[in-house]
């Protein structure tokens, strides 16, 4: 019983699931600012190897490999999982939940009312409006199923980005992170209405900032589906997908086997709690909903069959899983996307990774580590209690994209100023 209860507590998180000092404004002309920025970027990039290589312990591929590989400062090192802990996928996954530190972050919650009157909870870091400029790069974090801003993997990534001067906001899906539910609808692996409204809202608040997103597990699946749907018109300047289940049919198959059954039962318990808190909203709803089954579900599949697939118009739970995985949509992504997976992930099976589509997409790059479990990745300089091995990799990628964007913006502004001067002279 004790073993089951430990794993059960952990799997709430498992399935998919210092303030920054203000920078003094530089009083310089637009031309000198542009030259300083360009010179700094050029020096940084020229200091890197001309032919960067990844370490053989990592599987690194993708159509954008040659473009993105220079971004990374540590991929030439071997992936060394922490001794003992990294020897077993379940041990690593559970250890990360129980023993990884959880940074203290003060949030200010904003409840965004969706077009269907649903409520989305956005958690902003207290003080960022004072300490960061309106054009600071902005990062949206998407937790896994039932996850939220309280999860350690979210907070570690948030803290790393803030130390680099980024603004960060956590997107808690309906009912997650103790957020309210105001309509008889939660969220799904393929429902893109909420992320579309969140991205539009954040973009409207900070129109001068470049916008990025990172998602874990179910949040990663939603993010990739969103980027694919928006294609060339995607407002994001880039995205990162971690522990993405990709193929939900395969993920569901593995979820019914071995030790994964423990995760399944525990996660269904978390879903029950969220549902039963808001069950009155579903009391008189019509359709194929099975309220009783949802209130007493013993598996994720049972909950999805009773509520999720009905809410979003799927004929069956298999229909929902087969049409909602991002493996089939990633080929349509047209903005920079980094995917990071663990070969031994018990919940996001490696055989579901769309390797060929990633190789053929000139906007995508894939990194697969030999170990890592699900949301574990206990390795790197901060192991075993600090940030996951993936965090510096994610930050390298995002900062590379931001440097690239910042190089192009001044040139565009210079051209605009030149045209306006010529017009004035005439």
- Give the pLDDT of residue 158: 98
Q: Angle, to 10 degrees, between the axis of helix 152-163 and the axis of helix 89-99?
A: 70
Residue-wise pLDDT tens digits, 1-50? 333 343 443 444 333 333 333 333 333 333 333 333 333 343 444 444 45
Q: Tell the burial category of 397 from Cβ atoms under 10 Å away from its Cβ (0-12, 13-18, 19+).
A: buried
Q: How far apart are CA 426 and CA 424, in angstroms?
A: 5
Higher pLDDT, 398 or 415: 398
Residue-wise pLDDT tens digits, 242-281? 999 999 999 999 999 999 998 899 899 999 999 999 999 9
Which tokens sit at 416? 């605009």
What residues have CB less than 8 Å from 219, skipping those under 6 apart?
16, 141, 142, 143, 144, 147, 171, 173
Which of 306, 326, 374, 391 is catalytic? The answer is 374
- Give the pLDDT of residue 16: 37
Which tokens sit at 39? 């010179």
* Total Cβ atoms within 10 A of residue 30: 11
> Average pLDDT for residues 184-203, to the nearest whole number?
98
Tell me, yes or no, if 345 is annotated catalytic: yes
* Strand (E) or helix (H) holding 276: helix 260-277
What residues have CB less than 8 Å from 419, skipping those under 6 apart?
none
Does the pLDDT of residue 228 top 70, yes or no?
yes
Give the CA distances from residue 66 to residues 53, 318, 398, in Å, rounded to whole numbers and listed in that order.
Answer: 10, 38, 16
Residue found by looking up tokens 């069959």 in the block: 305
DSSP 8-state class, residue 80? -
Which tokens sit at 176? 């997650």
Question: Helix, strand, or coil here: 214?
Answer: strand
Tell me, yes or no, if 217 is annotated catalytic: yes
- Give the pLDDT of residue 51: 63
* Strand (E) or helix (H) holding 140: strand 138-142
Residue-wise pLDDT tens digits, 50-86? 567 899 999 999 999 999 999 999 999 999 999 999 9
- Give the pLDDT of residue 408: 72
20: left (phi over 0), alpha (psi -120 to 50) or beta: beta
Which tokens sit at 358? 């990633």
Which of 136, 152, 217, 324 is catalytic? The answer is 217
Higher pLDDT, 23 or 191: 191
At residue 142 the predicted structure's pLDDT band, cuts being 50, 70 and 90, is very high
Which of 304, 345, 391, 396 is catalytic? The answer is 345
Of the candidates 201, 204, 199, the residue with the CA atom closest to the CA atom of residue 229: 199
Residue-wise pLDDT tens digits, 355-408? 999 999 999 999 999 999 999 999 999 999 999 999 999 999 999 999 998 787
Does the pLDDT of residue 199 top 50, yes or no?
yes
| pTM of the predicted structure, to 2 decimals | 0.86
Q: Tell the burial category of 98 from Cβ atoms under 10 Å away from its Cβ (0-12, 13-18, 19+).
A: exposed
Give the CA distances from residue 274 to residues 111, 149, 185, 263, 294, in Å, rounded to whole numbers and listed in that order.
Answer: 17, 16, 12, 17, 11
Residue found by looking up tokens 């909203």 in the block: 281
Range name among 19-33, 309-323, 402-416 with the lowest pLDDT average:
19-33
């Amino acid at each position: 019983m004790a073993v089951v209860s430990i794993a059960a507590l952990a799997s709430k998180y498992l399935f998919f699931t210092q303030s920054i000092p203000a920078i003094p404004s530089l009083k310089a002309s637009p031309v000198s600012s542009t030259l300083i920025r360009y010179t700094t970027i050029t020096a940084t990039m020229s200091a890197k190897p001309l032919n960067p290589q990844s370490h053989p312990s990592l599987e690194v591929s993708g159509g954008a490999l040659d473009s993105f590989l220079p971004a990374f400062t540590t991929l030439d090192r071997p992936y060394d999982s922490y001794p003992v802990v990294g020897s077993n996928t379940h041990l690593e996954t559970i250890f990360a939940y129980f023993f990884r530190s959880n940074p203290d972050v003060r949030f200010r919650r904003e409840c965004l009312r969706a077009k269907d009157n649903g409520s989305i909870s956005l958690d902003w870091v207290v003080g960022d409006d004072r300490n960061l400029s309106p054009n600071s790069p902005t990062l949206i974090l998407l937790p896994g199923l039932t996850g939220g801003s309280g999860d350690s993997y979210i907070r570690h990534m948030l803290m790393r980005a803030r130390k680099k001067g980024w603004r960060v906001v956590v997107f808690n899906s309906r009912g997650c992170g103790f957020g309210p539910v105001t309509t008889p609808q939660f969220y799904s692996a393929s429902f893109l209405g909420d992320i579309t409204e969140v991205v539009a809202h954040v973009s409207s608040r900070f129109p001068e900032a470049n916008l990025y997103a990172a998602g874990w597990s179910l949040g990663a699946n939603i993010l990739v589906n969103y980027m694919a749907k928006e294609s060339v018109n995607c407002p994001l300047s880039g995205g990162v997908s971690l522990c993405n289940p990709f193929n939900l049919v395969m993920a569901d198959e593995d979820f019914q086997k071995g030790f994964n059954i423990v995760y399944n039962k525990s996660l269904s318990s978390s879903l029950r709690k969220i549902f039963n808190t808001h069950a009155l909203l579903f009391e008189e709803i019509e359709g194929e909903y099975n309220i009783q089954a949802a209130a007493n579900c013993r598996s994720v599949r049972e909950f999805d069959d009773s509520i999720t697939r009905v809410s979003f118009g799927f004929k069956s739970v298999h229909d929902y899983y087969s049409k909602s995985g991002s493996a089939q949509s990633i080929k349509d992504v047209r903005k920079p996307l980094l995917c990071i997976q663990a070969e031994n992930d018990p919940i996001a099976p490696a055989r579901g990774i769309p390797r060929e589509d990633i190789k053929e997409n000139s906007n995508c790059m894939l990194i697969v580590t030999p170990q890592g479990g699900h949301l574990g990745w206990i390795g790197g300089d901060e192991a075993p209690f600090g940030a996951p091995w993936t965090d510096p990799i994610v930050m390298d990628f995002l900062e590379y994209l931001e440097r690239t964007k910042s190089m192009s913006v001044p040139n565009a502004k210079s051209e605009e100023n030149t045209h306006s001067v010529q017009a004035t002279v005439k």
